[in-house]
Amino acid sequence: KAGVTQTPRYLIKTRGQQVTLSCSPISGHRSVSWYQQTPGQGLQFLFEYFSETQRNKGNFPGRFSGRQFSNSRSEMNVSTLELGDSALYLCASTIGGMWNTEAFFGQGTRLTVV
Amino acid sequence: GENVEQHPSTLSVQEGDSAVIKCTYSDSASNYFPWYKQELGKRPQLIIDIRSNVGEKKDQRIAVTLNKTAKHFSLHITETQPEDSAVYFCAANDRLTFGQGTILTVHP
């Protein structure tokens, strides 16, 4: 079956713009989480969605938001981009509860803010 | 929330040597501890995990040990090979909090 798919793979944006990233989980997976990966900072948890509801949120400013659709696909939005938002954004899906089963990651979206 | 500390941040070994990466966690309620491997330019993938009801788990050349009392767990790779070179992340299941990662380099 198809893995987790993220689009687009690469993005270049200008400071102050906004961006929307998409994540399609594995079929049947209802939980989608988002992570920001930067060198030296590892994987920082952004938020998790389950059945269209945000269940958990990390310590990121309100410029970072997300949503999940009825087909479990999820989008992440970053408004008023800053240079420091340049990173690899990964999403991961699991069948149900996020925290005690294998998480399957997408390839990520590489965002560059100039 | 959970806090996961991972050491070392970089590890360089010769092919055939063993490699050990250690993680500590803060939340005693955590009960699932996965390890992910991320090769250069690729997505993180689960290589082994352990639940709090066992102390050790092995899968061929890799093993994970868990000490619940001390709240730490370790990844052990024996007979390392160049293809083991990657970034390794530990995690605990409070919002799947990840450690900072260890860059493992195996020299032929």
pLDDT recorded at residue B104: 98
pLDDT category at A14 given cuts 50, 70, 90 is: very high
Instruction: Compare CB distances from B94 to A90, A99, A106 and report the shortest one's residue.
Output: A99
Kindly report, residue by residue over B30-62, the tens digit of the pLDDT: 999 999 999 999 999 999 999 988 899 999 999
Window from A34-38, A40-44, B37-41 with minimum mean pLDDT: A40-44
CB A58 within 8 A of CB A26: no
- Cβ-based contacts of A4 with chain B (< 8 Å): 43
Q: Chain B 60-99, CB below 8 Å of chain A: which residues?
A: 89, 93-99
Contact call for B34 and A102, based on CB within 8 A: yes
pLDDT, tens digit (0-9, with 9 covering 90-100), for B68-98: 999 999 999 999 999 999 999 999 986 678 9
Answer whether residue B103 shows pLDDT above 90: yes
What's the whole-number average pLDDT of chain A? 93
Which residue in chain A is spatially nearest to B40 when comparing CA positions? A107
Size of interface A-B (CB pairs under 8 A): 51
pLDDT bracket for residue B2 (50, 70, 90): confident
Cβ atoms of B33 and B66 closer than 8 Å:
yes
- How does DSSP assign B55-105, residue by residue? SEEEETTEEEEEETTTTEEEEEE-S--GGG-EEEEEEETTTTEE---EEEE
Residue B65 near residue B15 (C-beta atoms within 8 A): no
